[in-house]
Structure 1
Amino acid sequence: MSCCRQEVAREACYHSTVLSCSATGVYRMIAEVLVALVLGAVVYVLLLKQRQEVLQTEDGWWGLGEPHETPEDDSIRPFKVETSSEEIEDLHKRMDHTRPFPALEDSQFNYGFNSKYLQRVVSYWRHEFDWNKQVEKLNRYPHFKTKIEGIDVHYVHVRPRNLPEGTSGVPLLMVHGWPGSFYEFYGILPLLTEPENADDLAFEVICPSIPGYGFSEAPHKKGFDSVCAARVFHKLMKRLGFAQFYAHGGDWGWLITTNMAQLEPKTVKGLHVNFAPPAKPGFRMVMSVLLGRRFPKLFGFTDRDLNRLFPIVQKVMVESVKESGYMHIQATKPDTVGRGLNDSPVGLAAYILEKFSTWTDPEFRNMEDGGLERNFSLDDLLTNVMIYWTTGSIISSMRFYKENFGKGLNQKHAAIPVYVPTGFASFPNELMHTPELWVKQKYRKLTSYSPMARGGHFAAMEEPRLMAEDIQNFTRKLEKRKRK
């Protein structure tokens, strides 16, 4: 019995030892797995950071002739919009000699700007529009010019008033597109710089004119594209003393501010856009086009997304073709049609204002007056046209398409994601609808995606309050400030 008990004891000891060793081995294995996971996570983060590629660019020279040997004049000069009786007389003379042409019966705006309604616009422009009064309105805010890379860059700079001592406004760069101008933002400027709610952020807003647009000098050499504009505007903001700032853009302003975020992601604190057509279709985007109508929840599609996207051929492809004829002209031979527009104020008005009709709401194509005065006043619309006319900038503005599209669709910036916190305002009548999934493909830190109640392509001008509120909410989120 004694020998038996000893044998049992040895057996128990053996099993205890085995279990102990086994447990130790399991713990060691778990520890090794955890270490491997941690190391893997560290490596992944490091690789992710390496993959956050920054867009590269080099300084340019867009002035006449060769760059000066002496340093460029970096002074900031006050600027004032001016007019003269000779300028107005010449405009009136050209309008008086325009040759009307009858519109087709029942054509509305489906053939372009309706000729019958155009006569009403021209009559108002000729006999009622007061350019002197609008010049005073333009000069309501301070204008400046400064020379960057050989050309004069114009901008409006509006500082908030009545701020507590020792505080400053939140710097915000706002960039327009074509066929708009800095004037697009005149309705939103007081809402941003003098907010009605005392708890809202007060912004210090800088609205530059893209070189070749309005009062910014046109480049004298080929090659000035969106990346060049982004680089110039970064230099402008540095010259104004801003180490960091927020940026907003629509139309070309979307691409320019996106390029700014790609060039200097640490300088742009936040990017807000209301236009973001996908640059390159990724796998999930392609699958969403193929399967999104049948499995919308799989791609996060809302009823609004489905209504705007499908059927894809009609809603995206056909509609894009209907509204992109101008783009093909300007991306290939801008100087040809541009010369005619530069000579004829009526032709220029028809070419520009047609976009303010159909890009505001595609249904306006079926109206005799294009719905033009439903969302805008003729005074505001003609003021924008006059900025192009008096500066003779329609040809140079159209060349911007040639410079961008002429380099192909595989430019470096098209493949580089944006890692700057981004807010997207999705207006229901925008030219191209971009679901949240598609926006995230490019903008990896999408902080807010806001389906807006109404509005189209020229949203800042059409719906300034909605746009101001979305910019306010987006910026407040990043600044981590809440309303009281």
Structure 2
Amino acid sequence: MSVPFTNLPAKATLRPARFNVSIPQAKLDELQTLLNHSKLAPDTYEGSHEDRKYGLTNKWIREAKSVWEKQFDWRKHEEHINSFPHYVAPVVDDGIEYNIHFVALFSDKRDAVPLVLLHGWPGSFLEFLPIISILRKEHNSFTLPYHLIVPSMPGYTFSSPPPLDRDLRIQDIARIFDKLMVGLGFVDGYVVQGGDIGSKVGRVMAVEHASCKAIHLNFCIMPEPVNASKALSTTEEIGLIRAKEFLRIGSAYALEQATRPSTLGMVLSSSPLALLAWIGEKFLDWTDEDPPLDTILESVTLYWLTDTISRSIYPYRQVSSTLFTPGSIGTHENPIWHINKPFGFSWFPQEIAPVPRSWIETTGDLVFFRQHTKGGHFAAVEQSAVLLKDLEDFITQVWK
């Protein structure tokens, strides 16, 4: 008898291997030792500001370190992670074989819609486990309306790292993921959902690959387009203030990741406490409400145990190339990647750059738009049910 949600589509040509997350105890012991000996910075004026005006507070990092050392249980998280079906599939692209890790729920419903969910930085496949959990509770394999595929980008967690002898760009990731989806049997088409870097990859998949039939995003950082409407709602005006503040005081990390990724990767790979500070700050600043510390520690621990950080920031060299153009909010959306397919968008007020609908409309054929009053950059985690409802309504509207 087959395990629920594991029957591959009949047209699949790839034969992915089942995968189990099992971190060697020696790596966990090493992490514990490093944490025990990680030195905390001395208290400073900058580190005393509870509003995090100058970054994390000494109080937060001290308490987070203590919880990580004494209370956090990776094996408990590992057990939850392994409750979902994991796979690794070989995808050959430009003469290189990548082993792409992904979480998947395959449906036995004949008209199930293939849906690929794309994470960003500093995210991972963990971002979409809450949405998958909702659907797994509501459906069995014969009623599940979607095939859910959550791949790890090259360099992230359990996917192969980028090659050492050549650059890896957004277009390459899009092509690899399209080959993955087609190889899994979705030759008649699929839908993409993405945020952060996943939105960039998804946009290219929608434009350059015929198999992608529709796309839903929740991130669209961009400068003001010349042909956008000047009439803005009060909510949109507030969103633009937040976007400009992000550019002014919150985007220096992106410039560092874009211009000195090698040096930064070395620094963050040398200390788990440094990694916690770098990533933890983003989880706190980019969300509507501070997420539970356990959620932050799970993501940071996964990054540490899989040596992800130094291999994961390469997309910033490409997507941040125009981030700091004077007066600009974010990277220019390349005109060749204008979406000429059904395009949906979910707008959350505490996104790092919540730009107006009229701006987003200039980047594609926007047929679905929904504005929310709560939620931030990690919408799939913060507002799982809300984002899922948007996605389901969008698919109902556009999938034929």
TM-score, normalisation: structure 2: 0.86
Partner of 1:471: 391
1:170-185 matches, within 5 Å, as 170-185=113-128
**Compared CA separation, residues 323 and 437, structure 1 to 2 (3 A):** same
Partner of 2:302: 387
Secondary structure (helix, strand or coil) at the match of 2:313 reads helix
Q: Could you tell me how far apart the structure 2 residues matched to 1:426 and 1:88 are?
A: 39
2:21 matches 1:81: yes
Q: Could you tell me how far apart the structure 2 residues matched to 1:151 and 1:273 are?
A: 26
- Give 1:194 deviation, angstroms: 4.7
Q: Could you tell me how far apart the structure 2 residues matched to 1:211 and 1:442 are?
A: 26
Partner of 2:41: 101
Q: Could you tell me how far apart the structure 1 residues matched to 2:212 and 2:275 are?
A: 36
Considering fraction of residues, name the structure with more helix: 1
Asked if the contact 1:192–1:468 (Cα under 8 Å) also holds between the matched residues in 2, the reply is no
- Whichever of the two has the greater Rg, that structure is 1
Asked if the contact 2:254–2:320 (Cα under 8 Å) also holds between the matched residues in 1, the reply is no
Secondary structure (helix, strand or coil) at the match of 2:279 reads helix
Secondary structure (helix, strand or coil) at the match of 1:214 reads coil
- Give 1:134 deviation, angstroms: 0.9
Q: 2:363 aligns with which of 426, 439, 442?
A: 442
CA offsets 1:385-418 (integer angstroms, 9 cap, x no match): 1221111110110122124445999999444311
- Give 1:167 deviation, angstroms: 2.4
Asked if the contact 2:197–2:315 (Cα under 8 Å) also holds between the matched residues in 1, the reply is no
Q: Could you tell me how far apart the structure 1 residues matched to 2:360 and 2:368 are?
A: 11
Secondary structure (helix, strand or coil) at the match of 1:247 reads strand
Asked if the contact 2:333–2:363 (Cα under 8 Å) also holds between the matched residues in 1, the reply is no
CA offsets 1:8-61 (integer angstroms, 9 cap, x no match): xxxxxxxxxxxxxxxxxxxxxxxxxxxxxxxxxxxxxxxxxxxxxxxxxxxxxx
**Compared CA separation, residues 421 and 194, structure 1 to 2 (3 A):** farther
- Give 1:75 deviation, angstroms: 4.3
CA offsets 1:78-111 (integer angstroms, 9 cap, x no match): 1111022211110010001111123434422222
2:73 matches 1:130: yes
Which consecutive residues of structure 1, in runs of 5 or more, have no partner in the other structure? 1-72, 362-370
Partner of 1:154: 101
Secondary structure (helix, strand or coil) at the match of 1:327 reads helix
Partner of 1:241: 185
Partner of 1:259: 204
The two structures, once aligned, show a CA RMSD in angstroms of 2.4
- Give 1:133 deviation, angstroms: 1.2
Q: Could you tell me how far apart the structure 1 residues matched to 2:277 and 2:395 are?
A: 37
- Give 1:267 deviation, angstroms: 1.7
Q: Could you tell me how far apart the structure 2 residues matched to 1:332 and 1:437 are?
A: 31
Asked if the contact 1:262–1:413 (Cα under 8 Å) also holds between the matched residues in 2, the reply is no
Q: Could you tell me how far apart the structure 2 residues matched to 1:412 and 1:127 are?
A: 45
Partner of 1:273: 217
**Compared CA separation, residues 77 and 333, structure 1 to 2 (3 A):** same
Q: 1:331 aligns with which of 233, 258, 270?
A: 258
TM-score, normalisation: structure 1: 0.72
Partner of 2:9: none
**Compared CA separation, residues 438 and 406, structure 1 to 2 (3 A):** closer
1:36-435 matches, within 5 Å, as 75-105=15-45, 106-108=48-50, 109-148=52-91, 149=93, 150-160=97-107, 167-195=110-138, 202-220=145-163, 221-243=165-187, 244-264=189-209, 266-278=210-222, 281-285=224-228, 288=229, 292=230, 296=231, 301-309=232-240, 315-361=242-288, 372=290, 376-405=291-320, 413-435=334-356
- Give 1:204 deviation, angstroms: 1.4
Overall identity of the aligned pairs, in %: 31
Q: Could you tell me how far apart the structure 2 residues matched to 1:344 and 1:457 are?
A: 26
Q: Could you tell me how far apart the structure 2 residues matched to 1:428 and 1:411 are?
A: 21
Asked if the contact 1:76–1:144 (Cα under 8 Å) also holds between the matched residues in 2, the reply is yes
Asked if the contact 2:243–2:352 (Cα under 8 Å) also holds between the matched residues in 1, the reply is no
Secondary structure (helix, strand or coil) at the match of 2:130 reads coil
Q: Could you tell me how far apart the structure 2 residues matched to 1:381 and 1:181 are?
A: 12
Q: 2:372 aligns with which of 426, 445, 452?
A: 452
- Give 1:227 deviation, angstroms: 0.9
Q: Would you say how many aligned residue pairs link Structure 1 and Structure 2?
A: 371
Which consecutive residues of structure 2, in runs of 5 or more, have no partner in the other structure? 1-12, 326-330
Partner of 1:43: none
- Give 1:193 deviation, angstroms: 4.7
Give 2:397's aligned amino acid. K
Q: Could you tell me how far apart the structure 2 residues matched to 1:196 and 1:81 are?
A: 25
Q: Could you tell me how far apart the structure 1 residues matched to 2:63 and 2:333 are?
A: 46
CA offsets 1:121-171 (integer angstroms, 9 cap, x no match): 1111111111111111111111111222322111111134xx6xx624221
Asked if the contact 1:225–1:404 (Cα under 8 Å) also holds between the matched residues in 2, the reply is no
